[in-house]
Amino acid sequence: MHTLTISKGKEKFLDRRHPWIFSGAIASNTSQIDDGALVEVQDNHGNFYGIGFFQPGSIAVRLISIENVSIDQDFWNKKIENAIQLRLGLGLINDENTICRLVHGEGDGVPGLIVDFYNGVAVIQAHAVGIFRNIKFIVEALKYALGDLLIAVYDKSAETLPARIDSVNDYVFGRCPTPHLAKENGQPFSIDWVSGQKTGFFIDQRDNRSLLAKYSEGKRVLNTFCYSGGFSIYALNAGATLVHSLDSSKKAIELVERNLAHNAHAGKHESIVADAVKYMNELGEAYDLIVLDPPAFAKHMNKRHQAIKAYSRLNANAIRQIKPGGIIFTFSCSQVVDAFQFQKAVIAAAIECKRNVRILHQLHQPADHPVSAFHPEGNYLKGLVIQVD
């Protein structure tokens, strides 16, 4: 194992226990270290600090242990079991809820690893080369921790790894045909991890979908950027009189229709294939409740200002046209836009529209997407529920 030394003057950075070591903080020559190799990190006095995976780039090391231990099958078993026991202890996996994030990267002490669970199937996405190199260990750890709950493991890392890494999405344990039925809070959804976005479903909105249901009875609802229609299903099952599901992707709308077929509801539904921003330019007062859940408008810091302006424009369109007394669920999943900046963008939109707006709820990701106290960047999902007079 190579040893990397932190540059003199960068020692205080280590005291913050952030799981990333940036290339600019490393004094050692890294040119001979393999992509994804395990490395030991020490301060400039030779004191051990941690073990992590090396990867060329700005984030040079992702730490997986601050203890000097062997990174073997027993290590992975303990890491994965610790994450899964948290979910089981919170009651997030049961007969009525078979959809859950099992491992959430830095939040569970495994930077670069995402594992989602869909009624017996675990879907892995490696966002770091070192994680990808250890998938066999991770699969065995999932089998160890889940036992009979696990029927298959699908590796979907090809789209999350650097292009230089040769990876093909495929099963690494068992098999399961898609689409596969799983439940969220008792409501069935059809999941396709093979051809769907991310791992097949946006699990991080579970709690927010439940909250939306409480506001939906008797309402006319517009769900923009709807993907597979999670918010739409909750609204209809809660008694909404009309729900329009809007997405620019025809494939996403097909997922909505498939999920509607699994859910009995009395309300009227219509799917719309259109650009959400253009569609919202001329809504009129057609809706009592609008959901704004766009994809990330900025993935890098140099795009943050542009993203904030886009959030403001999008929210202004909704605020300007929603019925008096209407409710808007508005979100940002852009990691580089923090909660304060997002709220400022929504407030700027309200000022522009000259309408009174009250914040009813401040929303975030659920407990199976935990945030490490030492990695605040993990708090990526921000949301507000606002009422517009």
Read off the amino acid at residue 178. T
Q: For residues 253 and 273, is the Cβ–Cβ distance under 8 A?
A: yes
Local confidence pLDDT in tens for the 389 residues of the chain? 899 999 988 877 788 899 999 999 999 999 999 999 999 999 989 999 999 999 999 999 999 999 999 999 999 999 999 999 999 999 999 999 999 999 999 999 999 999 999 999 999 999 999 999 999 999 999 999 999 999 999 999 999 999 999 999 999 999 999 999 999 999 999 999 999 999 999 999 999 999 999 999 999 999 999 999 999 999 999 999 999 999 999 999 999 999 999 987 777 999 999 998 888 887 877 899 999 999 888 777 888 888 899 999 999 999 999 999 999 999 999 988 999 999 999 999 999 999 999 999 999 999 999 999 999 999 999 999 999 99
Shortest CA distance to 137 belongs to which of 162, 163, 103?
Answer: 103
Query: Hey, what's the torsion of the CAs at 314, 100, 190, 274, to 10 degrees?
Result: 10
Taking the C-alpha atoms of residue 167 and residue 153, their distance in angstroms, rounded to an integer, is 15
Instruction: Looking at the structure, tell me whether residues 23 and 163 fall in a common domain.
Output: no
Q: What is the CATH number of the domain that holds 6?
A: 2.30.130.10
The predicted pLDDT at position 285 comes to: 78
Count of CB atoms situated within 10 Å of the CB of 48 = 13
Instruction: Looking at the structure, tell me whether residues 112 and 149 fall in a common domain.
Output: yes
The predicted pLDDT at position 314 comes to: 94
The predicted pLDDT at position 151 comes to: 98
Instruction: Looking at the structure, tell me whether residues 160 and 258 fall in a common domain.
Output: no
Instruction: Looking at the structure, tell me whether residues 354 and 251 fall in a common domain.
Output: yes
Read off the amino acid at residue 269. H
Q: Is the pTM higher than 0.75?
A: yes
Q: What is the enclosing helix (H) or strand (E) of 135?
A: helix 135-146
The predicted pLDDT at position 286 comes to: 87
The residue segments making up the domain with residue 261 are 203-388
Read off the amino acid at residue 389. D
Taking the C-alpha atoms of residue 8 and residue 18, their distance in angstroms, rounded to an integer, is 18
Choose one of 191, 222, 247: the last residue of a domain.
Answer: 191
Instruction: Looking at the structure, tell me whether residues 306 and 367 fall in a common domain.
Output: yes
The predicted pLDDT at position 281 comes to: 83
The predicted pLDDT at position 121 comes to: 98
In a domain, 197, yes or no: no
The predicted pLDDT at position 156 comes to: 98
Taking the C-alpha atoms of residue 201 and residue 74, their distance in angstroms, rounded to an integer, is 31
Report, in angstroms and rounded to the nearest whole number, the Rg of the chain calculated over CA atoms: 22
Q: What is the CATH number of the domain that holds 122?
A: 3.30.750.80
Taking the C-alpha atoms of residue 321 and residue 242, their distance in angstroms, rounded to an integer, is 17
The predicted pLDDT at position 298 comes to: 76
